[in-house]
Amino acid sequence: MPTTKKNDLYNILLGQLLSQDEGIDAEILTNSALNAIKFASLNRNFPLISNILLKASSDFQRNNSSLNQIVFGSHFKNPVGLAAGFDKNGVGAGLWNYFGFGFAELGTITWHAQEGNPKPRLFRIAKEKAALNRMGFNNQGAENFLKTIEKQKILAPGNRPCVLGINLGKSKITPLDEAHKDYSLSLKLLAPLSDYAVINVSSPNTPGLRSLQGTKQIKKLISTLKDLPNCPPLLVKIAPDLSNEAIDEIARVAMENGIDGIIAINTSLDRFDLKNLKIKTGNTLGQENGGLSGLPLQKRGLDVIRRLRRSTDNDLPLIGVGGIHSARAAWERITAGASLVQIYTGWIFEGPNLVPDILDGLIQQMEKHGFRNIKEAIGSEEPWK
């Protein structure tokens, strides 16, 4: 089995930058990486690029049948995915499998193109392996997203090396009482591209969006989208700041209205005992707007998955995200009830080796517990050994 090294090129080149809050703006750094990924995805069949990608795949992929499973009708080669928010415009849609991901969630995409909130709006909190963002669904809009995917000549759903989900949000200019129309326009256009689609009603950075998690609003949104003739498997992504009672209610509504899965959790307005920590702006974390992501959310993410598993009687696929920075954290999320896990902030801080590290760890844990397939670990509550 291939092994990964922490002193790899990623850490040599970026380790110092990522170990401090100051320095190159976090959004500029992210966009630079995405530009390189965009070029590689568009030109992935060119000899030089294809050779580099072949080397990457040998380093990062783990082709082990024990990691395979079918979830909401799609074949996942492994349970580790890229969370929404990194590849907002789908520029790397043809590339994510080379990094070892079993799936990637693109977006968040809105019907109208929008610039998002004023900059700066993304901040590293390096010591805590966290980030603060108030991006505001900056993206090129659904129609441009479609063109971006078509240019990459992505295979149709069901034939891809990597499952692709599409995360949908509400345009800022759309009134809340017309949100269902906004989501519907995007999904109607993008459904043929989607292995699954996600209703994002939990970002803290679009005014009023989280109110759509209310029972009446979410039922209207679900029914509108489910009525589309080509609606793919439909998931909802929830906030970590909901009460336990609100989580139970969303689970009930989801199951009664044909939702295919729940993603938990989005970024948090809670500061998790870090509210007095000063960040790059000179203000404390408690004084700044935006959602917190990364390691501080690990416990809450685990608690919400456990809650959802009980609320759904273990009868609805769950995707665990938030604070997953290690193989152990991924194992704990899966054994708590998640069928799949997603990473983003952890991937940035730990580097691309995090994916194969997690996959190697999952394989080792299954061997230690006598599991033949990852599905046997889901909800088992078996400890990390």
Answer yes or no: is 139 a known binding residue.
Answer: no
Q: Is residue 349 marked as binding?
A: no
Rounded Cα–Cα distance for residues 378 and 370 (Å)? 14
339 is catalytic: no
78 assigned ligand-binding residue: no
Per the annotation, does 267 bind a ligand? yes
- Whether 151 has a binding-site annotation, put simply, is no
Distance of CA 230 to the CA centre of its chain: 23
Q: How many CB atoms lie within 10 A of CB 83?
A: 25
Residue 382 is given by DSSP the state P
DSSP state, residue 197: E
Q: Is 200 helix (H, G, I), strand (E, B) or coil?
A: strand
3 marked as binding residue = no
Q: Is 134 one of the annotated binding-site residues?
A: yes
260 in a labelled binding site: no
Please enumerate in sequence order all residues whose Cβ is within 8 A of that of 118, keeping only pairs 6 or more positions apart, or say none.
none
Catalytic residue among 41, 203, 326, 339: 203
Map tokens 């193989």 to a residue: 327
- Whether 90 has a binding-site annotation, put simply, is no
d(CA 224, CA 114): 23
CA distance 285 to 192: 41
Q: How many CA atoms lie within 13 A of 366 on its CB side?
A: 21
Residue 366 annotated as lining a ligand binding site: no
Does 136 carry a binding-site annotation?
yes
Other beta carbons less than 10 A from residue 146's beta carbon: 17
137 is in an annotated binding site: yes
Q: Known binder of ligand: residue 183? A: no
Element (H, E) at 301: helix 298-311
Is 226 within any annotated ligand binding site?
Answer: no
Joined together, the tokens standing for residue 235 give 């998931």
What is the rounded distance in angstroms from the CA atom of residue 36 to the CA atom of residue 39? 5
Determine if residue 345 is labeled as part of a ligand binding site: yes
- Residue 88 among known ligand-binding residues: yes
Closest Cα to residue 360, out of 331, 383, 380?
A: 331
Q: Is 237 annotated as a binding residue?
A: yes
Q: How many other C-beta atoms lie within 10 A of the C-beta of residue 234? A: 25
The Cα 325–Cα 130 span in angstroms is 10
Q: How far apart are CA 361 and CA 119, in angstroms?
A: 38
Cα separation of 121 and 102, whole Å? 29
What are the binding residues?
Answer: 84-88, 108, 133-137, 167, 200, 205, 237, 266-267, 294, 323, 344-345
What are the binding residues for substrate?
Answer: 88, 133-137, 200, 205, 266-267
Catalytic site residues? 203
What are the binding residues for FMN?
Answer: 84-88, 108, 167, 200, 237, 294, 323, 344-345
